[in-house]
Amino acid sequence: MAASVFILNGPNLNLLGEREPEIYGRETLADIETSARDHAASLGIEINFRQSNHEGDLIDAVHDARGKAAAIIVNAGGLTHTSVALLDALNSFDGTVVEVHLSNIHRREQFRHHSYVAAASVGSICGFGSHGYILALDAIHTILERASA
């Protein structure tokens, strides 16, 4: 049975390719989903890919992942820097959490330097654009392989 990974995307990521392409690139979220699905399949991982502009929906998605997924990849967008509630939900998840950001949040505005999500994550990947999702899948694959060895 393939491992299941939820990939959760937060506010405004539905506008990728249109919104600030000089920061976030020209790829759409659909492009990222296609790449992630293809790469996950090559690793024997099934993914559940979601996006919401609503904090509560993302919290519900984390709750849904409990008991179903081995890992969560989360790009919480702006909620990264503001949502203790999302952090609490991620802390209730007993699998692996990897944080992803398209841009390098540490090279941006000061308020973006703090991540609540990082406190629930085994690691954070930022600044590599959409390739960050691939790197996160590779990291999760390695973690799961080591855990089953």
Residues belonging to the active site? 24, 101
Contacts of 4 (CB under 8 A, 6+ apart): 45, 46, 47, 48, 68, 69, 70
Beta strand residue intervals within 10-107, DSSP E:
45-51, 71-75, 96-101
| Rounded Cα distance, 67 and 81, in Å | 27
| Rounded Cα distance, 129 and 44, in Å | 23
